[in-house]
Structure 1
């Protein structure tokens, strides 16, 4: 009888031990879930970008826009060649969901025009940094590289002009290399400023995407015709759009009109921004 009472006791003990082991296993699973939960509450993943794909760059600009930016395109007599000119040439890319660009080059009787449209979708591989934030950093690097001038200050410019002229006339000492370089740079900046009105100088832009800037550069005067290049760059969430518009007149005495080129480039930029937001 005692042996019969003893055996069930062993069975109960073994069952309790097995239950304890099983409970320990469940507890391990709970610990993993708890870890994931804790990591989620302490460092939530940053939001992904608004855009997961990009528009096709070669079809982003309509015929009307290309007619305005590339006047020579309508002068192409052969219909097949004209349509090919409208199509543009896709830039080299390995992933069109990350970057897509297109170039156009059209000659007219008065000038040769170049146009580049480039879309870049920025992706952050840092869970703590959103795609839009990373795109903002990339955009900031582009703006810094553009080296935009400080906004014009009429009071400072008028006060500096009289002092700079007499010093150049009265100083008979041989300038140092650094002084010569500084003077040359100053002269170039003054020449550029005189060619382009203050309201058309390279600058940041309002009302275009989340942030934007415009650059305007005229090649140095030489025997060849001067080329003007207007660049508009803007960011919308995690996509950065670059428009580069250049014109070189046929006649060496002509210089492309800054306002006209800026207006055309900004109009296209706004159309592309609307396209992204649409």
Structure 2
């Protein structure tokens, strides 16, 4: 992840993200209306929906962590904050647990996008940034065709009960756009193998207004009989992403 430097923790519940200001560390200060105090002259219409970010290590429910990292201790479930220059702009957390021949890792990254071009709103800049992120994964995002917000109830093709098909153990399953998570989302599932074992990593990114969220869930194994399953790994990543998207709108 780009832009990480030092750790500064704050304690904002996810539900307070609307109209709130996260604590900031080292990267400048912000007013409660979400505008920077460094000469930002944008109109209110140009400012993004979100003016703060949640405390990332508290953004994933404990029961969800227990499913993704079975058998871990309470210290592991507490998570490790990822270093950042400014927690008002970007925050993240990582959880890692090794159990015998298997190692599981989960990370979440929240980025609040701010446009410094007067004619470009924060949301529009976030849309551009997300399209670039998707393109790097090989996914073409046409946001004009997406909904103005998340689907009600989070159902549909990408609903809460949706389980991705088992795409097998290919080195890279086709990255694709997802429905029902945030305003727009995509998923990238990759399997790598070497002499020591196999590792499957699922990256799921979504955008809500001017916030881009990235979930990465990976499973590594040294067991020779089977590579980590694509379907269950994707399902776990989707479960976390839906939870984070609901938290942003809570």
Q: Closer, same or farther in 2 for the Cα pair 1:107/1:142, shift >3 Å?
A: same
Output the CA distance in 1 between the equivalents of 2:227 and 2:214: 23
The question of 1:212 aligning with 2:185 is answered yes
The superposition leaves residues 16-70 of structure 1 with CA deviations (integer Å, 9 ceiling, x where unpaired) of: xxxxxxxxxxxxxxxxxxxxxxxxxxx9774210000000111111111101111
Aligned to 1:67: 66
Runs (5+) with no aligned partner, structure 2: 1-41, 141-166
- Residue 240 of structure 1 and its aligned partner are, at CA, apart by 0.3
Q: Closer, same or farther in 2 for the Cα pair 1:194/1:101, shift >3 Å?
A: closer
The superposition leaves residues 175-205 of structure 1 with CA deviations (integer Å, 9 ceiling, x where unpaired) of: xxxxxxxxxxxxxxxxxx7635x9x742100
Output the CA distance in 2 between the equivalents of 1:224 and 1:136: 40
Secondary structure at the residue paired with 1:256?
A: coil
Structure with greater helix percent: 1
Secondary structure at the residue paired with 2:63?
A: helix
The superposition leaves residues 94-126 of structure 1 with CA deviations (integer Å, 9 ceiling, x where unpaired) of: 211100001111011341001110000000011
Output the CA distance in 2 between the equivalents of 1:256 and 1:67: 18
Aligned to 2:74: 83
Work out whether residues 225 and 253 of structure 1, in 8 Å CA contact, stay in contact via their aligned partners in 2: no
The question of 1:108 aligning with 2:99 is answered yes
Aligned to 1:263: 235
Output the CA distance in 1 between the equivalents of 2:71 and 2:202: 18
Work out whether residues 198 and 222 of structure 2, in 8 Å CA contact, stay in contact via their aligned partners in 1: no
TM-score by length of 1: 0.62
TM-score by length of 2: 0.68
Q: Closer, same or farther in 2 for the Cα pair 1:255/1:136, shift >3 Å?
A: same
- Higher alpha-carbon deviation: 57-66 or 233-242: 57-66
Q: Closer, same or farther in 2 for the Cα pair 1:195/1:250, shift >3 Å?
A: closer
Output the CA distance in 1 between the equivalents of 2:201 and 2:189: 6
Runs of 4+ in structure 1 off by over 2 angstroms are 43-47, 193-196
Larger of the two Rg values belongs to structure:
1
Aligned partner of 2:129 among 131, 138, 158: 138
How many residue pairs end up in the alignment? 182
Q: Closer, same or farther in 2 for the Cα pair 1:130/1:68, shift >3 Å?
A: same
- Residue 268 of structure 1 and its aligned partner are, at CA, apart by 0.8
- Residue 84 of structure 1 and its aligned partner are, at CA, apart by 1.2
Output the CA distance in 2 between the equivalents of 1:263 and 1:194: 14
